[in-house]
Structure 1
Amino acid sequence: MPPHTHPPHTTPEHTCEHRPGPCHLPDPWMCHTFSIDGSLRDITVADTDETHWPEILRHLGDTTDELTWHNGHTAETVDGNTAGDRLAALPDDETGALSIRCGTTTFTAHLPVDGIEFSLWPDDIQDTTHVTDVLRFLTALGTACARPAVLTAETVSGHDTLPPLITYDPTTGTTTHR
Protein backbone atom coordinates (compact mmCIF):
# COMPACT_ATOMS: atom_id res chain seq x y z
CA MET A 1 0.00 0.00 0.00
CA PRO A 2 1.50 3.41 -0.90
CA PRO A 3 2.34 5.83 1.93
CA HIS A 4 -0.50 7.94 3.28
CA THR A 5 -3.16 5.73 1.71
CA HIS A 6 -5.69 4.82 4.33
CA PRO A 7 -7.98 1.79 4.08
CA PRO A 8 -11.68 2.39 4.63
CA HIS A 9 -12.58 2.99 8.28
CA THR A 10 -13.87 -0.14 9.97
CA THR A 11 -14.84 1.47 13.28
CA PRO A 12 -18.17 3.32 13.41
CA GLU A 13 -17.69 7.04 13.68
CA HIS A 14 -18.63 8.97 16.79
CA THR A 15 -17.96 12.40 18.18
CA CYS A 16 -15.09 12.85 20.55
CA GLU A 17 -13.95 15.80 22.66
CA HIS A 18 -10.32 15.22 21.60
CA ARG A 19 -10.78 15.40 17.83
CA PRO A 20 -12.69 17.73 15.49
CA GLY A 21 -15.31 16.07 13.30
CA PRO A 22 -16.03 12.37 13.29
CA CYS A 23 -13.72 10.03 15.19
CA HIS A 24 -13.06 6.41 14.22
CA LEU A 25 -10.91 5.50 17.24
CA PRO A 26 -12.90 2.91 19.21
CA ASP A 27 -11.52 3.36 22.72
CA PRO A 28 -11.39 6.50 24.89
CA TRP A 29 -7.69 5.92 25.70
CA MET A 30 -6.91 6.03 21.96
CA CYS A 31 -8.87 9.28 21.55
CA HIS A 32 -6.93 10.82 24.45
CA THR A 33 -3.53 9.52 23.34
CA PHE A 34 -3.93 10.83 19.80
CA SER A 35 -5.92 13.97 20.61
CA ILE A 36 -5.38 16.76 18.14
CA ASP A 37 -3.90 19.41 20.39
CA GLY A 38 -1.30 21.03 18.14
CA SER A 39 1.66 19.00 19.37
CA LEU A 40 3.45 16.06 17.86
CA ARG A 41 3.79 12.74 19.64
CA ASP A 42 7.35 11.58 20.32
CA ILE A 43 8.58 8.03 20.56
CA THR A 44 11.80 7.81 22.54
CA VAL A 45 14.10 5.17 23.94
CA ALA A 46 15.96 6.10 27.12
CA ASP A 47 19.70 5.68 27.54
CA THR A 48 20.51 5.61 23.84
CA ASP A 49 22.90 7.68 21.76
CA GLU A 50 24.18 7.87 18.19
CA THR A 51 26.06 4.58 18.56
CA HIS A 52 22.74 2.71 18.75
CA TRP A 53 21.44 3.95 15.38
CA PRO A 54 23.15 1.46 12.97
CA GLU A 55 21.83 -1.66 14.71
CA ILE A 56 18.39 -0.13 15.21
CA LEU A 57 18.16 0.85 11.56
CA ARG A 58 19.17 -2.65 10.44
CA HIS A 59 16.41 -4.10 12.61
CA LEU A 60 13.82 -1.54 11.51
CA GLY A 61 14.79 -2.16 7.88
CA ASP A 62 13.78 -5.80 8.41
CA THR A 63 10.60 -5.16 10.42
CA THR A 64 9.03 -2.06 8.85
CA ASP A 65 7.83 -1.26 5.35
CA GLU A 66 10.06 1.56 4.09
CA LEU A 67 12.97 3.75 5.23
CA THR A 68 13.42 7.09 3.44
CA TRP A 69 16.39 9.41 3.90
CA HIS A 70 15.66 13.13 3.49
CA ASN A 71 18.50 15.60 3.02
CA GLY A 72 17.50 19.09 1.94
CA HIS A 73 15.16 18.80 -1.01
CA THR A 74 16.00 15.20 -1.89
CA ALA A 75 14.51 12.00 -0.59
CA GLU A 76 15.49 8.45 -1.38
CA THR A 77 14.47 5.06 -0.12
CA VAL A 78 17.36 3.40 1.74
CA ASP A 79 18.17 -0.05 2.94
CA GLY A 80 18.26 -0.55 6.72
CA ASN A 81 21.74 -2.03 6.40
CA THR A 82 23.15 1.19 4.89
CA ALA A 83 21.00 3.83 6.62
CA GLY A 84 23.38 3.91 9.59
CA ASP A 85 26.25 4.75 7.23
CA ARG A 86 24.21 7.67 5.87
CA LEU A 87 23.64 8.96 9.40
CA ALA A 88 27.33 8.59 10.33
CA ALA A 89 28.32 10.57 7.21
CA LEU A 90 26.02 13.50 8.07
CA PRO A 91 28.31 16.55 8.45
CA ASP A 92 28.09 18.39 11.78
CA ASP A 93 26.64 21.49 10.13
CA GLU A 94 23.86 19.65 8.26
CA THR A 95 20.56 18.18 9.25
CA GLY A 96 18.56 15.38 7.76
CA ALA A 97 15.52 13.30 8.48
CA LEU A 98 14.75 9.64 8.34
CA SER A 99 11.15 8.60 7.75
CA ILE A 100 10.05 5.07 8.49
CA ARG A 101 6.73 3.82 7.20
CA CYS A 102 5.11 1.07 9.22
CA GLY A 103 1.86 0.06 7.56
CA THR A 104 0.20 3.32 6.56
CA THR A 105 1.77 5.44 9.32
CA THR A 106 5.02 7.40 9.01
CA PHE A 107 7.45 8.03 11.87
CA THR A 108 10.21 10.63 11.42
CA ALA A 109 13.54 11.15 13.14
CA HIS A 110 14.98 14.65 12.68
CA LEU A 111 18.74 14.26 12.70
CA PRO A 112 21.10 14.71 14.31
CA VAL A 113 19.52 13.89 17.66
CA ASP A 114 21.19 12.88 20.93
CA GLY A 115 19.34 9.58 21.37
CA ILE A 116 16.69 7.57 19.61
CA GLU A 117 13.62 9.73 18.96
CA PHE A 118 10.88 9.64 16.34
CA SER A 119 7.86 11.90 15.90
CA LEU A 120 4.41 11.47 14.42
CA TRP A 121 1.36 13.68 13.98
CA PRO A 122 -1.67 12.58 16.00
CA ASP A 123 -3.85 13.81 13.12
CA ASP A 124 -2.50 10.87 11.08
CA ILE A 125 -3.88 8.34 13.57
CA GLN A 126 -7.41 7.96 12.27
CA ASP A 127 -8.52 4.47 13.29
CA THR A 128 -7.41 1.13 14.76
CA THR A 129 -5.31 0.37 11.67
CA HIS A 130 -3.11 3.35 12.50
CA VAL A 131 -3.02 2.52 16.22
CA THR A 132 -1.86 -0.97 15.22
CA ASP A 133 0.92 0.66 13.14
CA VAL A 134 2.03 2.67 16.20
CA LEU A 135 2.06 -0.44 18.41
CA ARG A 136 3.97 -2.40 15.74
CA PHE A 137 6.56 0.39 15.48
CA LEU A 138 6.93 0.68 19.27
CA THR A 139 7.46 -3.07 19.45
CA ALA A 140 10.04 -3.07 16.65
CA LEU A 141 11.92 -0.10 18.15
CA GLY A 142 11.90 -1.44 21.72
CA THR A 143 13.00 -4.86 20.51
CA ALA A 144 15.83 -3.37 18.43
CA CYS A 145 17.08 -1.33 21.39
CA ALA A 146 16.40 -3.98 24.04
CA ARG A 147 14.93 -1.10 26.07
CA PRO A 148 11.42 0.27 26.61
CA ALA A 149 10.07 2.42 23.76
CA VAL A 150 7.78 5.20 25.03
CA LEU A 151 5.22 7.39 23.26
CA THR A 152 4.67 10.79 24.93
CA ALA A 153 3.32 14.17 23.96
CA GLU A 154 5.95 16.24 22.19
CA THR A 155 8.93 16.78 24.46
CA VAL A 156 10.30 20.29 24.65
CA SER A 157 13.39 21.77 26.21
CA GLY A 158 13.10 21.67 29.99
CA HIS A 159 10.10 19.31 29.91
CA ASP A 160 11.65 16.07 28.77
CA THR A 161 9.94 13.90 31.39
CA LEU A 162 6.34 13.95 30.19
CA PRO A 163 4.19 11.02 31.34
CA PRO A 164 4.17 8.04 28.99
CA LEU A 165 1.04 7.58 26.88
CA ILE A 166 2.05 4.13 25.59
CA THR A 167 5.06 2.03 26.61
CA TYR A 168 6.39 -1.20 25.10
CA ASP A 169 8.80 -3.09 27.37
CA PRO A 170 10.78 -5.75 25.49
CA THR A 171 11.96 -7.44 28.70
CA THR A 172 8.37 -8.44 29.52
CA GLY A 173 6.84 -8.24 26.04
CA THR A 174 4.06 -6.04 27.38
CA THR A 175 2.48 -2.83 26.10
CA THR A 176 0.77 -0.49 28.53
CA HIS A 177 -1.21 2.67 27.94
CA ARG A 178 -2.44 5.50 30.09
Structure 2
Amino acid sequence: MFYVDGSLRDITVTDTDDTHWNQVLRHLRATADQLTWYNGPEAHDIAPDDTEDPFATIEDGCTATLAVRYGHTWLSAHLPVDGIEFSLWPDSIEDGTHVADVLRFLTELGTACGRPAVLTAETVTGHHQLPPLITYDPATGTTTHL
Protein backbone atom coordinates (compact mmCIF):
# COMPACT_ATOMS: atom_id res chain seq x y z
CA MET A 1 0.00 0.00 0.00
CA PHE A 2 2.77 2.41 0.86
CA TYR A 3 5.47 1.18 -1.53
CA VAL A 4 7.28 4.03 -3.25
CA ASP A 5 6.24 4.14 -6.89
CA GLY A 6 6.43 7.88 -7.63
CA SER A 7 2.74 8.55 -7.04
CA LEU A 8 0.78 9.92 -4.12
CA ARG A 9 -1.86 8.10 -2.15
CA ASP A 10 -5.23 9.84 -1.98
CA ILE A 11 -7.71 9.82 0.85
CA THR A 12 -11.17 10.83 -0.30
CA VAL A 13 -14.61 10.85 1.27
CA THR A 14 -17.41 9.45 -0.87
CA ASP A 15 -20.27 11.63 -2.06
CA THR A 16 -18.89 14.96 -0.83
CA ASP A 17 -18.46 18.33 -2.47
CA ASP A 18 -16.89 21.63 -1.50
CA THR A 19 -19.73 22.38 0.94
CA HIS A 20 -18.34 19.73 3.31
CA TRP A 21 -15.02 21.47 3.93
CA ASN A 22 -16.23 23.58 6.87
CA GLN A 23 -17.45 20.55 8.83
CA VAL A 24 -14.16 18.77 8.08
CA LEU A 25 -12.18 21.78 9.27
CA ARG A 26 -14.22 22.00 12.51
CA HIS A 27 -13.56 18.32 13.21
CA LEU A 28 -9.86 18.47 12.33
CA ARG A 29 -9.39 21.52 14.59
CA ALA A 30 -10.52 19.33 17.48
CA THR A 31 -8.66 16.12 16.59
CA ALA A 32 -5.51 16.88 14.57
CA ASP A 33 -2.14 17.29 16.21
CA GLN A 34 -1.42 20.25 13.93
CA LEU A 35 -3.18 22.16 11.13
CA THR A 36 -1.32 24.56 8.87
CA TRP A 37 -2.88 26.75 6.18
CA TYR A 38 -0.74 27.78 3.19
CA ASN A 39 -2.16 30.54 1.01
CA GLY A 40 0.55 31.57 -1.42
CA PRO A 41 3.93 31.92 0.27
CA GLU A 42 2.40 32.58 3.69
CA ALA A 43 1.66 29.84 6.20
CA HIS A 44 -0.02 29.92 9.57
CA ASP A 45 -1.06 27.31 12.07
CA ILE A 46 -4.76 26.94 12.83
CA ALA A 47 -5.44 26.63 16.55
CA PRO A 48 -8.26 24.43 17.89
CA ASP A 49 -10.18 27.51 19.08
CA ASP A 50 -9.56 29.52 15.88
CA THR A 51 -12.84 30.52 14.22
CA GLU A 52 -11.35 32.09 11.08
CA ASP A 53 -12.60 30.66 7.77
CA PRO A 54 -9.40 30.10 5.76
CA PHE A 55 -11.41 28.96 2.73
CA ALA A 56 -12.72 32.51 2.36
CA THR A 57 -9.14 33.69 1.70
CA ILE A 58 -8.66 31.65 -1.48
CA GLU A 59 -8.60 34.00 -4.43
CA ASP A 60 -10.13 32.98 -7.76
CA GLY A 61 -7.64 31.03 -9.84
CA CYS A 62 -5.32 30.44 -6.87
CA THR A 63 -4.55 27.31 -4.90
CA ALA A 64 -4.17 26.98 -1.15
CA THR A 65 -3.08 24.00 0.94
CA LEU A 66 -4.43 22.64 4.21
CA ALA A 67 -1.73 20.49 5.84
CA VAL A 68 -2.78 18.16 8.64
CA ARG A 69 -0.52 16.25 11.02
CA TYR A 70 -1.61 13.19 12.95
CA GLY A 71 1.26 11.85 15.02
CA HIS A 72 4.34 12.03 12.80
CA THR A 73 2.48 11.91 9.48
CA TRP A 74 1.50 14.88 7.32
CA LEU A 75 -1.40 14.82 4.84
CA SER A 76 -2.39 17.68 2.60
CA ALA A 77 -5.36 18.99 0.65
CA HIS A 78 -4.86 21.34 -2.27
CA LEU A 79 -7.84 23.65 -2.58
CA PRO A 80 -10.14 24.44 -4.16
CA VAL A 81 -11.18 20.92 -5.09
CA ASP A 82 -14.64 19.45 -5.59
CA GLY A 83 -15.12 17.00 -2.75
CA ILE A 84 -12.94 16.07 0.19
CA GLU A 85 -9.51 14.82 -0.85
CA PHE A 86 -6.16 14.65 0.93
CA SER A 87 -2.84 13.27 -0.32
CA LEU A 88 0.22 11.73 1.27
CA TRP A 89 3.58 10.55 -0.01
CA PRO A 90 4.02 6.80 0.50
CA ASP A 91 7.70 7.26 1.33
CA SER A 92 6.68 9.20 4.46
CA ILE A 93 5.14 5.99 5.85
CA GLU A 94 8.20 4.42 7.43
CA ASP A 95 6.77 2.05 10.04
CA GLY A 96 3.70 0.85 11.91
CA THR A 97 3.45 4.11 13.85
CA HIS A 98 3.01 6.01 10.58
CA VAL A 99 0.43 3.50 9.36
CA ALA A 100 -1.47 4.05 12.63
CA ASP A 101 -1.36 7.81 11.95
CA VAL A 102 -2.93 7.27 8.52
CA LEU A 103 -5.62 5.00 9.97
CA ARG A 104 -6.38 7.59 12.66
CA PHE A 105 -6.72 10.30 10.01
CA LEU A 106 -8.90 8.10 7.80
CA THR A 107 -11.18 7.41 10.77
CA GLU A 108 -11.42 11.07 11.79
CA LEU A 109 -12.10 12.21 8.23
CA GLY A 110 -14.86 9.65 7.72
CA THR A 111 -16.34 10.56 11.10
CA ALA A 112 -16.26 14.28 10.23
CA CYS A 113 -18.36 13.71 7.12
CA GLY A 114 -20.43 10.74 8.29
CA ARG A 115 -19.43 8.94 5.09
CA PRO A 116 -16.85 6.32 4.12
CA ALA A 117 -13.27 7.54 3.76
CA VAL A 118 -11.15 5.68 1.23
CA LEU A 119 -7.39 5.49 0.63
CA THR A 120 -6.46 4.78 -3.00
CA ALA A 121 -3.37 5.01 -5.18
CA GLU A 122 -3.23 8.04 -7.44
CA THR A 123 -2.73 7.65 -11.14
CA VAL A 124 -1.06 10.05 -13.52
CA THR A 125 -4.43 10.96 -15.02
CA GLY A 126 -6.04 11.55 -11.63
CA HIS A 127 -8.58 8.78 -12.30
CA HIS A 128 -10.02 7.77 -8.94
CA GLN A 129 -11.86 4.59 -9.86
CA LEU A 130 -9.08 2.41 -8.51
CA PRO A 131 -9.85 -0.27 -5.93
CA PRO A 132 -9.62 1.10 -2.38
CA LEU A 133 -6.53 0.15 -0.45
CA ILE A 134 -8.14 0.98 2.90
CA THR A 135 -11.73 2.03 3.68
CA TYR A 136 -13.21 3.32 6.93
CA ASP A 137 -17.01 3.27 7.18
CA PRO A 138 -18.34 5.38 10.09
CA ALA A 139 -21.79 3.76 9.81
CA THR A 140 -20.35 0.38 10.85
CA GLY A 141 -17.15 1.52 12.55
CA THR A 142 -15.15 -0.93 10.45
CA THR A 143 -11.92 -0.58 8.52
CA THR A 144 -11.19 -2.87 5.58
CA HIS A 145 -8.08 -3.20 3.41
CA LEU A 146 -6.74 -5.15 0.48
Same fold (TM over 0.5): yes
Q: How does 1:10-159 map to 2 (within 5 A)?
A: 33-79=1-47, 81-82=50-51, 85-157=53-125, 159=127
Higher Cα Rg: structure 1 or 2?
A: 1
The equivalent of 1:11 in structure 2 is none
Aligned residue identity for 2:101: D
Q: Which has the higher contact order (CA 8 A, sep 6+)?
A: 2
Answer yes or no: is the 8 Å Cα contact 1:42–1:155 preserved in 2.
no
Task: Structure 2: give runs of 5+ residues left out of the alignment.
Answer: none
User: What SS does structure 2 have at the residue aligned with 1:109?
Assistant: strand
The equivalent of 1:160 in structure 2 is 128
Within 2, Cα distance between the matches of 1:48 and 1:156?
A: 22
| Distance change (3 Å), C-alpha of 1:89 and 1:122 | same
Equivalent pairs: percent with the same residue?
A: 66
Answer yes or no: is the 8 Å Cα contact 1:139–1:170 preserved in 2.
yes
Provide, for residues 122-161 of structure 1, a one-character-per-residue CA deviation record: whole Å limited to 9, x for no partner.
0000000000000000000000000000000015546220
User: What SS does structure 1 have at the residue aligned with 2:118?
Assistant: strand
What is the TM-score normalised by the length of structure 2?
Answer: 0.94
Answer yes or no: is the 8 Å Cα contact 2:39–2:58 preserved in 1.
no
